[in-house]
Amino acid sequence: MPDIGRKNNKTVGMFMKRSCKLNYFDNAATSFPKPAEAGQECLEYLNETGGPYGRSFYKRALDVSRKVENSRDRISEFFGISNADKLVFSLNATHALNTVLKGLDFKENKEVWISPLEHNAVTRPLKYLEDLGKINIKFLPSRLDGLIDMEKLLKTNLSKAGLIVICHQSNVTGLVQPAADIKKAVNKIPLLLDAAQSAGYLEIKTEEWDIDYLAFTGHKGLLGPTGTGGLYIKNPESLRPLLNGGTGSRSDSWKTPEFMPDKMEAGTPNIAGILGLAAALKHRPEPAHSKEEFILMMNEISEIPGITVYKALDSKNQGEVFSINLEKRGKLISPSDFGEKLYRDFGIETRVGLHCAPLAHQTTGSFPQGAVRISPSIYHGTDDFKYLLKAVKRTASEL
Amino acid sequence: MKVFVFESTRAVIKSEKAVRAENIECLIIPVPRSVSANCGMALKIKEKYEEKVREVLKALKINTKVFNIEDITL
């Protein structure tokens, strides 16, 4: 267990200077705090070492190129990927998801089947492609909370499916989809796993689960800087690149190289960010709370009069995010008012509204008003949970 | 001397690591102009290590082309 309160802890020491209380419950938007080493690594690159990735032979360039490639190896290992050539860096999960959705040639198999908890990072590019007549969006069978119904899935006619897209962990309810089972059920149909919210919170065994495309961001559960992320591509020949440009390789040709990772990495990458992300992984703390402690806190909040919790129906499918609404005297309190009072009176930082996931809110019944989202950090301990519980209780009684 | 050229930066960095792990001395150099259609960096090694390096790279499935340094117009 990390010891957030322990003195002489370098990471915590730096964190404590920034804030005395860990009232930040908006980690599904972006995580805070981060391991101090992540920022130090970025600063060291920006202020001291510098140099380009992969464009030159002198020591400064080679040192940074080696560091970037070591980072690729470290991140691949974290996700159970044996061939790091197949992992390319991206700006975030949205960039990675767009790379897949716009890089596939759907040909005859135009149906893209999605879960009912998808984020706009998936639904918007799909809607764009549907409007162009390139695909048709279809919904996978699901239960009330959006969990894919495996029995019905096995009976679903997927003969025209070109792709399955699964939001691994909902950014609204925290529901975790059984990615490995879904891939097993759909067999050879390619599966794109959106791990924006799950990466860093859940173990992801990319190759063991036979995932075709894994999209993730670096700045959420992985505790890295913003502007980082990545995409694993099992069969690189299946995708066209989203961007074309300089790679430092085959520079005599106007054609984008076909080999990985260059095929998917045109332009200078976010070197500072990538190095920071790898440092965040290396210095990742142990969670300051257990899954049981998180579930207990969530259940205690659900028992507060007037509170509705949007979550997985079965706690075994629950990830570490959930959303809440408050009803008083038979009327729903606006999530904006609820979230603002939590902040003004207790300093609790949450995200209110639709969380860029209107589809998920439609599925859970919280559309169009949205909800107040609680998304803890790996650094939160039970004292932080107690404070949150007290804040929600008091706010709920006073509104 | 032999010069190994590679497709990508990742390939040259991976190769350097693997070659050094075999205690073979190597040096990353800019790719000579006459073979510049690659990643811009190449690995220079002593001729006596050529076969061993080829084996190491083959095991890692790294594509490479090998040139004699005297055949190259620098």
Of B13, B28, B39, nearest to A249 by CB-CB distance is B39
**Residue B49 predicted with pLDDT over 50:** yes
Interface test with B, best of A69, A71, A271 (most B CBs within 10 A): A69
- Using only C-alpha atoms, chain B has a radius of gyration, in whole angstroms, of 11
CB of A72 within 8 Å of a chain B CB? The answer is: yes
Q: What is the pLDDT of residues B50-71, one digit of tens each?
A: 999 999 999 999 999 999 877 6
Q: What is the pLDDT of residues A108-167, one digit of tens each?
A: 999 999 999 999 999 999 999 999 999 999 999 999 999 999 999 999 999 999 999 999
- Confidence band (pLDDT; 50, 70, 90) for B38? low
Separation of alpha carbons B2 and A266, rounded Å:
30
Q: At a CB cut-off of 8 Å and minimum separation 6, what does A167 contact?
A: A115, A117, A118, A119, A122, A177, A194, A196, A197, A360
Q: Which residues in B lie closer than 8 A to residue A55 (C-beta atoms)?
A: 9, 40
- Confidence band (pLDDT; 50, 70, 90) for B37? low
**Residue A204, burial from CB neighbour count under 10 angstroms (0-12, 13-18, 19+):** buried
Contact: B40, A252; criterion CB under 8 Å: no
Q: Mean of the pLDDT values across residues A79-95?
A: 98
Chain B residues with CB under 8 Å of a chain A CB are: 7-10, 13-14, 16-17, 28-30, 36-41, 63
Contact: A54, B38; criterion CB under 8 Å: no
Of A247, A252, A257, nearest to B36 by CB-CB distance is A252
The whole-model pTM stands at 0.93
Of A319 and A10, more confident:
A319
**pLDDT on residue A56:** 86
Complex ipTM, two decimals? 0.89
Contact: A55, B40; criterion CB under 8 Å: yes
Pairing of strands A111-114, A161-167: parallel
Q: What is the pLDDT of residues A185-224, one digit of tens each?
A: 999 999 999 999 999 999 999 999 999 999 999 999 999 9
**Residue A8 predicted with pLDDT over 70:** no
Contact: A69, B29; criterion CB under 8 Å: no
**pLDDT on residue B70:** 74
Q: What is the pLDDT of residues A226-259, one digit of tens each?
A: 999 999 999 999 999 999 999 988 888 999 999 9
Q: Which residues in A lie closer than 8 A to residue B30 (C-beta atoms)?
A: 56-57
